[in-house]
Structure 1
């Protein structure tokens, strides 16, 4: 078996208003051992995934249903946790979008994708099918990223949905997860009434601004503990803007279905370390 490969890539400048990052992971697991599920709690990033080798089995807690993923999926806004059972030869390419980027490139209202993933070919047709076929033939990781990037650049060239102030406000919310924004203030930053802002936010981000802020804060707390395992939970409460530890546990139960301690235990038992979100 080859050594595991894991790397994040920055998109080219022309795609940076739409795409936050690419991630490529290639892991070969021992076929004599049973496949173990990886917990994947909610995070605010919307994604396009390609599975260039083995398929992934996904258990969705929102729908209490397990399914086998197609070769490429679009993942919209997520509130519910999923469990991912990787194949023995797992080569995953993730495109992580900027707020509003997935809506702009594919045109589907994001609220329709809340806690759902769909076969990418349903939105992109044979184009995506051809990309899947080409990825299966490639062995060079950089060529894989270049192929996906070339496809996304073709989507930008045919773009019909312009950038909107709501996208910039959502980006601000991502970067300022500890700051308690009021709906009226957020709406004023987008030059909209509160009602117009909520409607546009649902269309482009897929959930209410209040729920989005909770997802952002939870994802930051989870990432912080993963990056600094020795950090005390009370420090995480303070750094991530929680009122107290009870509120943090409440969010973990909602977005991860378990307590913080239990989620870390599941992470430790998983065969692959997953990194939701972007390092950039």
Structure 2
């Protein structure tokens, strides 16, 4: 049996956290899934058995930060699943971890390996709590305490940059640096430190998510029209980029999976 639910953060945390999701799955047999880059950093708590990242041949830690990803991962269950996941706004994770989040790119970094006693304590309490509602309360209380120390000076300008990327199928580094009121060199450095990847790669990931979203909501769309709506130079460009991030061409992907993206939903 599988249950999945999304929980919205309190209004004060919404500028920093997109949502929480909780997955429980006690299905007999192995459950496998291919995950694609989402453009967001996540904080993951396993209260059940951990997942195995098969293409890296490693088990996920019990509690870990999942950094920005540059490609797909295949994950497989090793038993009953019970996960609580915090999905941050693309520009906001650095507030809570106090490190350049470029250090997390393409990594699952165990909370136990981070010099943050309060975060380690939170992980233990989430793992030991009686129910999910208590877990979410503990998580939100931790985030509120982090915000007591203030938010980074660059956060509002990065929020505007991300909003512009989300609303534009075509943009460039010069336009984004102008929105941020920074030189291109400063902008690229600050963007990477706070979002965890380069502006160019982040725009490519958002374009992938836009492609998945359009495919999800318009299943009969032709690939030529899809490439135009999502800002690719042409259909071959879209196919090349899609395969780079997913391991499949769009046609191969929809033959195996139902395209899903919530990037533009929350």
Q: 1:160 to 1:191 in 2, by over 3 A?
A: closer
Q: In the alignment, is the contact (CA less than 8 A) between 2:92 and 2:155 conserved in 1?
A: no
Paired position in structure 2 for 1:147: 138
Question: 13, 16, 19: which is aligned to 2:14?
Answer: 16
User: Alpha-carbon deviations, 1:78-108, whole Å to 9, x = none?
Assistant: 1121111124321111111113211122121
Q: In the alignment, is the contact (CA less than 8 A) between 2:216 and 2:261 conserved in 1?
A: no
TM-score, length-normalised on structure 2? 0.88
Question: 237, 245, 248: which is aligned to 1:255?
Answer: 245
- Bigger drift between 164-173 and 215-224 goes to 164-173
Q: What's the offset of the Cα at 1:232?
A: 3.4
Q: What's the offset of the Cα at 1:165?
A: 4.4
How many residue pairs end up in the alignment?
266
Gaps of 5+ in 2: none
- CA distance, structure 2, for counterparts of residue 274 and residue 176 of structure 1: 19
User: Alpha-carbon deviations, 1:110-167, whole Å to 9, x = none?
Assistant: 2222211201233364434433333344453333222221222222223463443442
Q: Which has the higher contact order (CA 8 A, sep 6+)?
A: 1
- CA distance, structure 1, for counterparts of residue 197 and residue 2 of structure 2: 35
Q: What's the offset of the Cα at 1:213?
A: 0.8
Gaps of 5+ in 1: none
Q: In the alignment, is the contact (CA less than 8 A) between 1:38 and 1:267 conserved in 2?
A: no
- Bigger drift between 16-25 and 124-133 goes to 124-133
1:223 aligns with 2:213: yes
Paired position in structure 1 for 2:265: 279
For the aligned residue pairs, the C-alpha RMSD in angstroms reads 2.4
* Correspondence list, 1:150-229, <5 A: 150-159=141-150, 161-178=152-169, 180-229=170-219
Q: 1:117 to 1:99 in 2, by over 3 A?
A: same
